[in-house]
Structure 1
């Protein structure tokens, strides 16, 4: 009997040690851990989760997990659980995804969410590990900015070299044109009979030198074309979601109803990832700034098939809309309505989109704000 008691005590001590070790691990891991039941109610909220979301555990236990989600996920979450229970179709369990979460103060931030499932004696629980991507994406953005600065410096140097070479190459035909035209003027001003043959020769040579100058410029354009940015197949939904999350960093994202909708037919596009995200960041930040004083802050990023094998991407908001006086100069550099803006974001976006073989334009959105549209090439499914 004593042996059985000793074994029971040993098992109890081992279990207590295991629980203490597990508790220590959960208290120190940097990722947040949240456990919910089948009805979406929070049953466990780790210390890291408390720091990340700015809630105490007592504030959230028994509450629906949707309180930590921005719209429209907040309204849809219970439906996701119900669909999984009814059909067994897993949306993110065992897969993980990039999405957004909502702090106690209402601000939105980008996260990486990994979801698992536990079935203990008929009780089904879902575990979510959450990683705040703000610092990582800020670091990635800084690296991208540094790379862009280096690339810009390289382009400035290259443009200086090209400008010098272009000036040197064009100087000769332009000088020749000036000389032939001056000779023609002197012939016209000379007394006596006009030497039409010599005047005609001067005009012919001027025309030939002008054509030569045009050829030099065309050759330069062809040279620049051969240096086009490398594009490769990229998942469009991920690009839009990550670009929007990056745009939210450092902005007031509280109360924004954001959604990303991508037609399944246009899953991938041919793009330079960094450049295309720069376009998305510019458009999303413009939308967030425009909606600053709007009673409803609606932001929609969508993509659908367009003509000629293209994909049309739309970034629409519920802001005050475009000033008609700005519509003609919308993409002109250094044109802006912002007090502290430089007016180059849309110009850069236009350059990037056109460099991808697409076009960009703006229309009124269905919520009274602005919808920016741009097109991209679809990626071949077999590429």
Structure 2
């Protein structure tokens, strides 16, 4: 059945043309599934048959939750009943990246968009499903190449940085050692002249210590404020691509990822690769934090602050942040992971601050941690 109704003359004849409808269902590239207000499958396109491994005759009249993993399968009917009762949409008209289940029981990431319509036969819902697996495989190959290049770049950069630090810090550290050795040699003398010289040597050592600290801060600021190629990008596209890549390799217990982005602050001025790296780190951290949670849910949303900035929030339903970790989250080499290096969040902070924003963490309203970061909204042309 077609879920759309037209007021144009001949609409009934058009809707009644079953052969024409079948040709549409056979050629539409994304899987299209139509259900009634009880969640029962009314039509199942050819793309849906290929994607899920079911023939239409096998699923017709069955609840659409058969295509979902737990816990979504169990919760779906409740979600639908709440929408029909309240009219408050969490997915309909919004879209999200989530997980579906094939006929063989395997799970795979999808991008889901749902619309509803009132027809002569009653209320119907049409879902368009895009399999993100193939795109993820291509992105994974590209990401592997980028990761290898980034590794080489990091090794080269760390070598250059180590050389620069050694060169810059050698002079003040040598001076500190000389001043302290001189002061030590004078400690055996208690006359006023010796005490004055000791005091002067310690003052000079302290001054050289401050200089060494300034060198380190200057190099850190240079790295943090490095130039990047900023362009006007769609925040929704950045989030969708990063989310799909983050779900790659997450296994059968993939998180249910819901995207709720504000349409009035979609255009942002960013370096696309860098901001996707921030999103990728935060989403993967969220997935890892929830590996023992019975309910794995991630919500990504955005809101404008009214002053030219948009806040992006990545929240999870995991156990939350340990109190003693809050003050050191973004420090390099600080990690709670057994095999982590503690650089992910530090890199996120460096990237966000280089974009003129800030990043911080708070408890999430869905039970875990919520990481917030701000970006500049692109000015209208």
CA contact (8 A) 1:98 1:242 kept: no
Aligned to 1:178: 177
Q: Which residue of 2 aligns with 1:335?
A: 335
Distance in structure 1 (CA, Å) of the matches to 2:186 and 2:47: 89
* In structure 1, distance between residues paired with 2:325 and 2:207: 43
- Looking at structure 2, the residues matched to 256 and 185 of structure 1 have their Cα atoms a distance apart, in angstroms, of 62
Counterpart of 1:382 in structure 2 is 380
Aligned residue in 1 for 2:237: 238
Quote the Cα distance in structure 1 between the aligned partners of 2:233 and 2:157: 29
The answer for unaligned runs of 5 or more in structure 2 is 1-18, 88-92, 116-123
Q: Using the alignment, how far apart are the partners of 2:202 and 2:282 within structure 1?
A: 52
Measure the CA separation in 1 of the matches of 2:99 and 2:197.
Answer: 80
Partners of 1:372 and 1:237 lie apart in 2 by: 19
Report the Cα offset of residue 58 of structure 1. Answer: 0.9
Contact 2:242 2:279 in 1 (8 A): yes
Aligned to 2:193: 194
C-alpha deviation, 1:59, in angstroms: 1.6
Q: Bigger radius of gyration, 1 or 2?
A: 1
SS in 2 for 1:178: helix
Normalising by the residue count of structure 1, what TM-score does the alignment of the two structures yield? Answer: 0.65
User: 1:328-376 CA distances to partner (integer Å, 9 max, x unpaired)?
Assistant: 55555353366x666654454444444443122131x334x21322221
Q: How big is each residue's C-alpha offset from its partner over 1:146-173, in whole Å with a ceiling of 9 and x where there is no partner?
A: 2233223223212212322332233233
- What is the CA distance between 1:271 and its match in structure 2? 3.2
- TM-score by length of structure 2 reads 0.66
Contact 1:301–1:316 (Cα < 8 Å) also in 2: yes
Q: Which runs of 5+ in 1 are unaligned?
A: 1-18, 84-90, 116-124
Q: Which secondary structure state, in structure 2, belongs to the residue aligned with residue 260 of structure 1?
A: strand
Partner of 1:168: 167
Match of 1:373 in 2: 371
Q: Which residue of 2 aligns with 1:302?
A: 301
Contact residue 187 and residue 194 of structure 1 kept, 8 A = no
Q: Which residue pairs with 2:152 in the alignment? A: 153
2:101 aligns with 103
Q: Which residue of 2 aligns with 1:220?
A: 219
Question: Match of 1:12?
Answer: none
Distance in 2 of aligned mates of 1:210 and 1:295: 52
User: Which residue number in structure 1 is paired with residue 52 of structure 2?
Assistant: 53
Distance 2:198 2:328 in 1: 45
The alignment partner of 1:381 has SS state of: coil
**Residue 288 of structure 1: how far off its partner (Å):** 3.7
Matches of 2:370 and 2:354, distance apart in 1: 17
Label 1:381 to 1:294 Cα distance change in 2 as closer, same or farther (>3 A): same
Aligned residue for 2:361? Answer: 361
Aligned to 1:16: none
Is residue 45–residue 56 contact of structure 2 (8 Å, CA) maintained in 1? Answer: yes
Higher mean displacement: 290-299 or 310-319: 290-299
- Contact kept, 8 Å, 1:299 with 1:318, in 2: the verdict is yes
Between the aligned partners of 2:348 and 2:252, the Cα distance in structure 1 is 22
Decide whether aligned partners of structure 1 residues 305 and 229 sit closer, same or farther in structure 2, where only a CA change above 3 A counts. Answer: same
8 Å CA contact 1:314, 1:371 repeated in 2: no
Q: 1:30/1:152 Cα in 2 relative to 1: closer, same or farther (>3 Å)?
A: farther
SS at match of 2:315: strand
